[in-house]
Structure 1
Amino acid sequence: MQREDGTAVATGVTDERLAGLRRWNLGLALLHLLQALLVVLLAGSFSITVTSSVPEGPPGTTAPAPQALFDVPIGWAVAVFLALAAVDHLLTATVCRRVYERDLRRGINRFRWLEYALSATLMVLLIGFYSGITGLNAVIAVIGANVGMILFGWVQEAMNPPGRTRTRMLPFWFGTLAGVMPWVSIAYNVIAAETVPGFVYGIVLVQAALFFSFGLNQWLQYREVGRWADYAYGEKAYLVLSLAAKSLLAWQIFAGSLAG
């Protein structure tokens, strides 16, 4: 399928499918916004403290005990990643609809990657907090690794437009390497800790499975496996995965530490 200017259009991105995606985006905007409001209204005041320990001597000197820097109110942090998704879906269904649909025809969704760079990074930070990763240096490293992973996903789409003669997977694998690193750190803390609340195990296991499913979705798209040969199908899969990951994390955190 080609546009009037002769350039290729991503498989499955028809006017009918775009209209369906608009309805999905409107519905998801409402669902994420309602959940954000509920969390703000119902959540307790639980917070987690970010700490820092700066060396006070030559290399090899024992670092002092970590000192508190600032508190992160968890209820508000959860509401923020839900609200970010709501804004993204609302924009792509309304004022940015033409740009969003034009990009989908080109086999890319810049709005997805920009939103994920913010919301998914905040989600990984929260999962890390509940796993005991609260040092400022580690927090900065997690942010860098996760944002890098998301941007590699954007590059993967940019390097593989519709009508390509071959598919380049190098950005995908670079992104996979960057993205798995925070999860290695999270897994280490959870396994090495003597006592971990059961709901934290649930958060880590469920969210790891969902986060890795985003990568699987992209791999299936670019290997054109089954229904994923249809770019629009992969786009809808991203919408479903995003709703599932954000909603489950929000209410896992709420049930474990914010209720009451």
Structure 2
Amino acid sequence: MTTVSAASAAPTEKTYRGLRRFNAVMGLLHLVQGVFMIAVSNDTTYPIFTNFLRFDVSTFSLTPDPKLVYELPFGLAVAIFLLISAVAHFALATFAYRWYVAKLQKGMNPARFYEYALSSSLMIVLIGMLVGLWDLGSLILIFGLNAMMNLFGILMELHNQTTQKTNWTAFIYGCIAGIIPWVVIVMYFLGAVSSSGAEPPAFVYAIIPTIFVFFNIFAVNMLLQYKKVGPWRDYLFGERVYIVLSLVAKTALAWQIWAGTLAPV
């Protein structure tokens, strides 16, 4: 059986209690930021459209018929991905703690990827909207693809419970699913940049490379865990790295958006 912690000494109860406190602190940091985003952000919204076809009787042809279906409050949306993480951390530090420890002892943490499937997928949707991706169908697709990337993370850890040698199939498929939303975002970003008068706000130029790098470091962390490189021989080291990366990535996106468009004038 392949486990990423097989080469390290078994963690003690003290180690797990430390991780429990760490989750509680991370939950508090996410909660404080989420509440701040709700309390202090302005009322900036971004539109979401449908683009169903309609029959144009004047030309006897089908044409797109964009219709506004919702104005998304961006401050609330930013707060939600922070609060999702807060709830997950508090759950693992309280009523789900024993379950959490049992999973960590097997070299896996499904809760991490379920949380990411929601929070990071909302993050990718907001980044897409910042570059002009406002079509409801497209937003659903990039949300779903990003969520699938994270569900492949669960499959990677689950599958390799029963292998003698690490099987990378789920990891590879997850990377493919995860890169597609970024391809679409970059396409829209470049299109906006090249369109006179439709350039994205200056802060978006910083968001795309920074969050793209953070998203990919998660994959690097998993790679190092399964390759058992240095301190990553201990699965709990990689777990802490995941937790820190999650906080830093969400904090970076939240505050870049807040400073760029949500700060009260």
TM-score, structure 2 normalization = 0.90
**Alignment pair present for 1:242 and 2:246:** yes
| Distance in structure 1 (CA, Å) of the matches to 2:201 and 2:231 | 39
Kept in 2: contact 1:13–1:231 (CA 8 A): no
| Distance in structure 2 (CA, Å) of the matches to 1:9 and 1:46 | 46
| Distance in structure 2 (CA, Å) of the matches to 1:111 and 1:99 | 10
**Alignment pair present for 1:211 and 2:215:** yes
- The residue type paired with residue 251 of structure 1 is W
1:23-38 equivalences under 5 Å are: 23-38=21-36
Deviation of 1:131 (Å): 1.2
Deviation larger for 27-36 or 12-21:
12-21
Deviation of 1:228 (Å): 1.4
Q: Could you say which residue in structure 2 is the equivalent of 1:3?
A: none
Identical amino acids, percent of aligned pairs: 39
Distance change in 2, residues 1:189/1:179 (3 Å): same
Q: Could you say which residue in structure 2 is the equivalent of 1:173?
A: 172
Q: Deviations over 1:69-117 (max 9, x none)?
A: 1111111111111111001000101110000010000111111011111
Structure with the larger strand share: 2
Distance change in 2, residues 1:13/1:28 (3 Å): farther
Q: SS of the residue aligned with 1:166?
A: coil
Deviation of 1:12 (Å): 5.3
Deviation larger for 239-248 or 137-146:
137-146
Q: Deviations over 1:181-219 (max 9, x none)?
A: 000000111112132221011111110000011111111
- The residue type paired with residue 94 of structure 2 is T
Q: SS of the residue aligned with 1:56?
A: strand
Q: Deviations over 1:43-86 (max 9, x none)?
A: 0000111101111259xx55324210111111111111111100
Q: Structure 1: any 5+ residue segments left out of the alignment? A: 1-6
Q: Could you say which residue in structure 1 is the equivalent of 2:71?
A: 71
| Distance in structure 2 (CA, Å) of the matches to 1:62 and 1:136 | 20
**Alignment pair present for 1:112 and 2:94:** no
**Alignment pair present for 1:126 and 2:130:** no
Aligned length: 251
Q: SS of the residue aligned with 2:64?
A: coil
Deviation larger for 182-191 or 9-18:
9-18
Q: SS of the residue aligned with 1:127?
A: helix
Distance change in 2, residues 1:74/1:12 (3 Å): farther
Q: Deviations over 1:163-182 (max 9, x none)?
A: 85200000000000000000
Q: Structure 2: any 5+ residue segments left out of the alignment? A: none
TM-score, structure 1 normalization = 0.92
Deviation of 1:243 (Å): 0.3
| Distance in structure 2 (CA, Å) of the matches to 1:36 and 1:56 | 41
Aligned alpha-carbon RMSD (Å): 1.8
Q: SS of the residue aligned with 1:44?
A: coil
Q: Deviations over 1:12-58 (max 9, x none)?
A: 55123212211110100110000011111110000111101111259
Q: Could you say which residue in structure 2 is the equivalent of 1:225?
A: 229
Kept in 2: contact 1:12–1:231 (CA 8 A): no
| Distance in structure 1 (CA, Å) of the matches to 2:261 and 2:138 | 23
| Distance in structure 1 (CA, Å) of the matches to 2:222 and 2:165 | 16
Distance change in 2, residues 1:62/1:184 (3 Å): farther
